[in-house]
C-alpha cells in the first residue's frame, strides 16, 4: 500500500510538473527569441568581438542564475502564503509579519500595490512581444511574409484569449507537451551552435560579465536594459506557483527549463562569434534551414504558452486583489474542481485582449516592443525584494545582518536593471508605466473609497447592542423564520434592519447579523471559518472568515452553524442586504478629490452584486438601498 501511495504521489508530481511547463514557464521560456538579438543589437554601438559576445552572454547567464534560480526559485518561492504565490500574497505576508510594527503596514501596502499594478503592464506586453517575435521568424525564410506578420499575430492573440474560458488545467494539458518539445528543441539547436565554437562555455566565468560591464561603461549600461529580457517571466513564475505548487515548479526549472535556456543562449552566442552577420535574428538563423518553418510553428505555439503564464497570473492577482479589498467585485469562474487557485475572469480577459492588440498594432515589431518591455518587470521584481526583506526579518526571524546583506545583494541587480530600462521610457517604456499608473489609481481609489464608506457608516449608524436593548423593551411583532442581515460593520446596526422595521413593522423570530471577513492568508480551514455569539432575544452575531483565494459561499457556510447550535432551514430564511448608493459630492472636508470620488462611484455601481458574489439564493434575497455621500 505504501509503495502504491508513493508511486501515485510521484505520478501526480510528474503530471503537475508537465502541466506547470504549459503555464508557468512559457514567458521565460520564449525569451531566447528576442533577448540575444536585442542584447547585441548594433544600435548599442558595441562591436561583436568574441570578448564582447562572451561578456554579454556571461551577463545573461549570471542574471538568470541570480535573479531566477537564487532569488525566485530558491528564496522567494519559500515565501508562499499557504501555498499561494504572487505579489498580493507577498503583501499579505509582509503586512502580517510587521503586525508588531504598525507604522510599516501602510508603506508596505502602497509599495506592494504599486508593484502589483505594474504586473498588468507585463501581462499586456508579454503576449504582444512573444507572438510577434515568433511570427517574425517567417521573414528569415523570405521577406514576402513581412506584410502579414502583424495580421497573423493579431489572429493568434484573438484565438488565445478566446480559449481562456476553457480553464488553466485544459490549457496546461494541451500546452504542457508542446512546451516540453519546445525546450528539447531549443536545447538541441543550442547544442548545435556550441559545437561550432566550444570556447563559448568560457562565458560561465563571471569575470567576463564584470569586465564587459566595466569596460564599456555607458553603452554596457544600455545593454542591461536588453539583458533583462532574458529574466522576464520570473514574477509570473512566482505568481503562478499557486496553480501547481512549488515542488513541480522547482523540478521543472532545474531539470529542464534552465539547462535548455542556457544551451540555447550559449548556442546563439557561438553563432554570433562564428557569423556576426546573424545578429539580425540569431535564434532562427541558428536553426538548420530544413527545420526553419517547423521551428516557426513551434515558436508560435510556445509564445502562445508564454502569454498564458502572465494571463493566468493576472487572473490570480485580480482575485487576490478583490478579496483583499483593492478592486471591486467582478465575476470569477472557478475552472477546476480540484485546484482552487485555477480561475478565469471574463472582464479581465477582454480588457487584456484590447490592450494587447493595441500594443501589437501600435508598436508593430518585436524590436520596438523590446524598448517598452522590461520597466514593469524590473520594478515589480524590486518590490518583491523589498517585501521579502520584511518576511525573512520579522516572520522568519533571521538576523538583521543576513537579511540586510541578502536584500542589498538582490537590490543591486534590481536597481541596475530598473535604471537601465528607465532610459527607454521615451521609446515606449511609457506604455507599461501608463497601464500600471491607471491600475494603481483604480486600486488606491477603491481601497480609499471603501474605507471612507465604512467610516461614514460607523459614524452614522446606531451601535448594535444598545439598539437591540432599547428595541426589546417594547418589541415589535415577531414573525416565523430567520432573517440574515449581511453587514460589513458588525458593531453597527445594519440600515437594512432599520428600513425593515420602519416599513414592515415586524422582526423575524430569529435574527442573524452576518459579517464576512477576508483574512490575510489564502485559505481558511473549515474548522476556523465560522464563529457565533448569542446576543439574546433570538439574535445572533455570526462571523465567516475566508482566505483571499477562497471562494465565498455563505449558504454552504451556514451548514456549519448546526454544529454550534444554530440550524438553518433555507426555505424559511431571508437574506437582507444593505446596498450603498455612492453619491460623490464636492465637499471641503472630503478625503478624496471629486474626480476620484466619481471613479469610485462608477466602480461601486458596476461591481458584481453581493448576492451573486456570496452565492445567495436569488429568491431569498431582499436588498434595501441607502445613499452614502463621500
pLDDT in tens, 80-104: 777 777 788 888 889 888 988 888 9
Share of the chain above pLDDT 70, in %: 93
pLDDT, residue 6, reads 47
Residue 484 has pLDDT above 50, yes or no: yes
Give pairs for 61-64: CB < 8 Å, separation 24+: 61/203, 61/204, 61/209, 61/262, 61/265, 61/266, 62/206, 62/209, 63/227, 63/228, 63/230, 63/231, 63/413, 63/417, 64/230, 64/231, 64/258, 64/261, 64/262
CA–CA distance, 20 with 574 (Å, rounded to integer): 44
Residue 605 has pLDDT above 60, yes or no: yes
pLDDT, residue 353, reads 92
**Between 517 and 627, residue with greater pLDDT:** 517
Cell of 468: 437591540
Residue 589 has pLDDT above 70, yes or no: no
Please name every residue paired with 622 in a beta bridge, in sequence order, or none if there are none. Answer: 576
Residue 189 has pLDDT above 60, yes or no: yes
Please name every residue paired with 344 in a beta bridge, in sequence order, or none if there are none. Answer: 333
CA–CA distance, 149 with 151 (Å, rounded to integer): 6
pLDDT, residue 142, reads 67
> In terms of C-beta density within 10 A (0-12 exposed, 13-18 middle, 19 or more buried), how is residue 496 classed?
buried
Cα pseudo-dihedral 75, 77, 80, 85, rounded to 10: 140
Residue 7 has pLDDT above 90, yes or no: no
Residues 97, 521, 312: CA angle, nearest 5 degrees:
115
Residue 134 has pLDDT above 50, yes or no: yes
- 343-344 and 333-334 strand pairing: antiparallel
pLDDT, residue 590, reads 67
Distance of CA 255 to the CA centre of its chain: 25
Q: Delineate the domains of the chain, giving CATH numbers in brackets.
A: 2-449 (1.20.1740.10), 461-629 (no CATH)
- The SS3 of residue 624 is strand
Cell of 19: 502541466
Mean pLDDT of the chain: 85
pLDDT, residue 8, reads 46
Cell of 139: 521573414
Mean pLDDT of 507-518: 93
> In terms of C-beta density within 10 A (0-12 exposed, 13-18 middle, 19 or more buried), how is residue 454 classed?
middle
Residue 336 has pLDDT above 70, yes or no: no
pLDDT, residue 5, reads 47
pLDDT in tens, 353-411: 999 999 999 998 888 888 788 888 888 889 999 999 999 999 899 999 999 999 999 99
- Cβ proximity of 72 and 237 under 8 Å: yes
Residue 168 has pLDDT above 60, yes or no: no
pLDDT, residue 2, reads 44
Residue 587 has pLDDT above 70, yes or no: no
Residue 257 has pLDDT above 60, yes or no: yes
pLDDT in tens, 24-64: 787 888 899 889 998 898 888 888 899 999 999 999 999 99
pLDDT, residue 224, reads 86
pLDDT in tens, 232-244: 878 777 877 766 7
Question: Given pLDDT bands bounded at 50, 70 and 90, which one contains residue 143?
Answer: confident
Mean pLDDT of 244-260: 88
Cell of 439: 491600475
Mean pLDDT of 527-544: 91
CA–CA distance, 560 with 499 (Å, rounded to integer): 29
Q: What is the DSSP string of 317-382?
A: HHHHHHHTTSS-----EE--SS-TT-EE-HHHHHHHHHHHHHHHHHH-SHHHHHHHTTHHHHHHHH
pLDDT, residue 1, reads 40
- Cβ proximity of 449 and 477 under 8 Å: no
Question: Given pLDDT bands bounded at 50, 70 and 90, which one contains residue 66?
Answer: very high
In 146-185, which positions are buried (b, 16+ CB within 10 angstroms) versus exposed (e)?
eeebbebbbebbeebbeebeebbbbbbebbbebbbebbeb
**Terminal Cα distance for the chain, rounded:** 63
pLDDT, residue 335, reads 66
pLDDT, residue 282, reads 93
Cell of 10: 510521484
Mean pLDDT of 286-290: 89
- The SS3 of residue 287 is coil
Phi/psi for 197 (5° steps) reads -150, 80
Residue 552 CB coordination number (10 Å) = 17
Amino acid at each position: 500500500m505504501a509503495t502504491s501511495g508513493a508511486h501515485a504521489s510521484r505520478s501526480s508530481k510528474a503530471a503537475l510538473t508537465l502541466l506547470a511547463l504549459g503555464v508557468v514557464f512559457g514567458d521565460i521560456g520564449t525569451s531566447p527569441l528576442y533577448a540575444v538579438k536585442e542584447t547585441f543589437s548594433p544600435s548599442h554601438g558595441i562591436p561583436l568581438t568574441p570578448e564582447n559576445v562572451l561578456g554579454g552572454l556571461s551577463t545573461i547567464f549570471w542574471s538568470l542564475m541570480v535573479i531566477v534560480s537564487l532569488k525566485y526559485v530558491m528564496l522567494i518561492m519559500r515565501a508562499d502564503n499557504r501555498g499561494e504565490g504572487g505579489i498580493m500574497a507577498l503583501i499579505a505576508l509582509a503586512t502580517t509579519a510587521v503586525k508588531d510594527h504598525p507604522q510599516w503596514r501602510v508603506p508596505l501596502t502602497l509599495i506592494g500595490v504599486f508593484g502589483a499594478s505594474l504586473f498588468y503592464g507585463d501581462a499586456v506586453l508579454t503576449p504582444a512581444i512573444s507572438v510577434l517575435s515568433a511570427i517574425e521568424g517567417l521573414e528569415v525564410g523570405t521577406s514576402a511574409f513581412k506584410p502579414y506578420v502583424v495580421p497573423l499575430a493579431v489572429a493568434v492573440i484573438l484565438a488565445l484569449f478566446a480559449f481562456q474560458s476553457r480553464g488553466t488545467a485544459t490549457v496546461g494539458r494541451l500546452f504542457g507537451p508542446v512546451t516540453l518539445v519546445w525546450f528539447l528543441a531549443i536545447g538541441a539547436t543550442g547544442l548545435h551552435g556550441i559545437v561550432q565554437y566550444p570556447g563559448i562555455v568560457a562565458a560561465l566565468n563571471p569575470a567576463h560579465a564584470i569586465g564587459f560591464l566595466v569596460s564599456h561603461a555607458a553603452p554596457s549600461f544600455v545593454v542591461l536594459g536588453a539583458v533583462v529580457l532574458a529574466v522576464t517571466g520570473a514574477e509570473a513564475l512566482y505568481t503562478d506557483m499557486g496553480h501547481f505548487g512549488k515542488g513541480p515548479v522547482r523540478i521543472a526549472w532545474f531539470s529542464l527549463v534552465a539547462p535548455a535556456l542556457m544551451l540555447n543562449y550559449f548556442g546563439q552566442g557561438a553563432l554570433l562569434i562564428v557569423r556576426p552577420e546573424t545578429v539580425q535574428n540569431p535564434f532562427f538563423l541558428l536553426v538548420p534551414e530544413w527545420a526553419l518553418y517547423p521551428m516557426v510553428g513551434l515558436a508560435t505555439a510556445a509564445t502562445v504558452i508564454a502569454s498564458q503564464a502572465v494571463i493566468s497570473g493576472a487572473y490570480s492577482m485580480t482575485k487576490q486583489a478583490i478579496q483583499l479589498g483593492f478592486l471591486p467585485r467582478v465575476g470569477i469562474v472557478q475552472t477546476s474542481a480540484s485546484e482552487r487557485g485555477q480561475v478565469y475572469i471574463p472582464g479581465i480577459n477582454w480588457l487584456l485582449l484590447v490592450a494587447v492588440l493595441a500594443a501589437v498594432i501600435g508598436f508593430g515589431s518585436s524590436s520596438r516592443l523590446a524598448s517598452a518591455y522590461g520597466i514593469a518587470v524590473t520594478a515589480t521584481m524590486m518590490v518583491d525584494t523589498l517585501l521579502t526583506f520584511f518576511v525573512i526579518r520579522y516572520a522568519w526571524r533571521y538576523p538583521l545582518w543576513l537579511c540586510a546583506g541578502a536584500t542589498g545583494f538582490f537590490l543591486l541587480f534590481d536597481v541596475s536593471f530598473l535604471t537601465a530600462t528607465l532610459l527607454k521610457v521615451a521609446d515606449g517604456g511609457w506604455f507599461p508605466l501608463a497601464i500600471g499608473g491607471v491600475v494603481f489609481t483604480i486600486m488606491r481609489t477603491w481601497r480609499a473609497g471603501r474605507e471612507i464608506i465604512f467610516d461614514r457608516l460607523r459614524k452614522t449608524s446606531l451601535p448594535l447592542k444598545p439598539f437591540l436593548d432599547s428595541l426589546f423593551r417594547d418589541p415589535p411583532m415577531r414573525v416565523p423564520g430567520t432573517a440574515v442581515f449581511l453587514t460589513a460593520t458588525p458593531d453597527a446596526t445594519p440600515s437594512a434592519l432599520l428600513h425593515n422595521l420602519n416599513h414592515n413593522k415586524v422582526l423575524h423570530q430569529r435574527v442573524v447579523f452576518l459579517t464576512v471577513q477576508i483574512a490575510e492568508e489564502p485559505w481558511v480551514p473549515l474548522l476556523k471559518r465560522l464563529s457565533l455569539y448569542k446576543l439574546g432575544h433570538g439574535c445572533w452575531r455570526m462571523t465567516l472568515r475566508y482566505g483571499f483565494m477562497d471562494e465565498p459561499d455563505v449558504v454552504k457556510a451556514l451548514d456549519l452553524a448546526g454544529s454550534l447550535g444554530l440550524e438553518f432551514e433555507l426555505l424559511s430564511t431571508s437574506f437582507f442586504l444593505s446596498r450603498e448608493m455612492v453619491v460623490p459630492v464636492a465637499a471641503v472636508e472630503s478625503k478624496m478629490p471629486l474626480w476620484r470620488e466619481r471613479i469610485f462611484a462608477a466602480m461601486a455601481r458596476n461591481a458584481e452584486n453581493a448576492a451573486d458574489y456570496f452565492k445567495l439564493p436569488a429568491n431569498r434575497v431582499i436588498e434595501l438601498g441607502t445613499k452614502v455621500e463621500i
